[in-house]
Amino acid sequence: MLKKIKIGLLHGINYIKKNLAIRIPCIYLIPKPQAIYLIPSIKCNSKCIMCSFWSKKDVTLSFKQWQKVIDNLYDWCGPYVKINISGGETLLPGVMHQVISYCIKKFPLTGIVSNGFLIDKKEAKKLIQKNFNNINISIDGNTKKTVNMIRGQPFAFKRSRNAIKYLVNEKNKQKNIQKLLLNLLLWD
């Protein structure tokens, strides 16, 4: 409860600063961000028609460099800024796992975005135990044919749907209050 009050106060102060900064130009009134999006890697296991990340060479910072970025964000914004980690696919092996774990330690409002392809029952249990603020699963379409076509993978719909089931079941087992969100892009 105290954490929620602190978050509310910090967001309220930011709101006031933002509105004052519009009317009174002053460096001290510049509000701090309330949400920050990090993309530690563009490596992806999907071949979406609306994105070309999957076709590009993945160039990312080392974990030590990401640590420095995260520490600087913490020093500037404090612990109650919302951090969303996306990419590429956040659950692929590599620097992402280290960045995610480090962010959760620093920022209690850390969330991830995933296509769900790599979430089985075991991974769902691990993800729910990490106590993210939110886990977003992206599903682009409302039919199996559409989702598979948009994601460029014949298994996209089935794996994303299963990931949601596994996460919901595990969330209920662990009696966890974190948010599970669906990012939907509906196509004909």
For 134-151, the pLDDT digits (tens) are 899 988 888 899 999 999
CA triple 138-116-45, angle to 5 deg: 95
Which pLDDT band holds residue 121 (cuts at 50, 70, 90)?
Answer: very high
Distance CA 138, CA 119 (A): 13
CA triple 146-133-31, angle to 5 deg: 105
CA triple 78-82-86, angle to 5 deg: 125
For 82-105, the pLDDT digits (tens) are 999 998 898 988 888 888 999 999
Which pLDDT band holds residue 158 (cuts at 50, 70, 90)?
Answer: very high
Structure tokens at 59: 């160039």
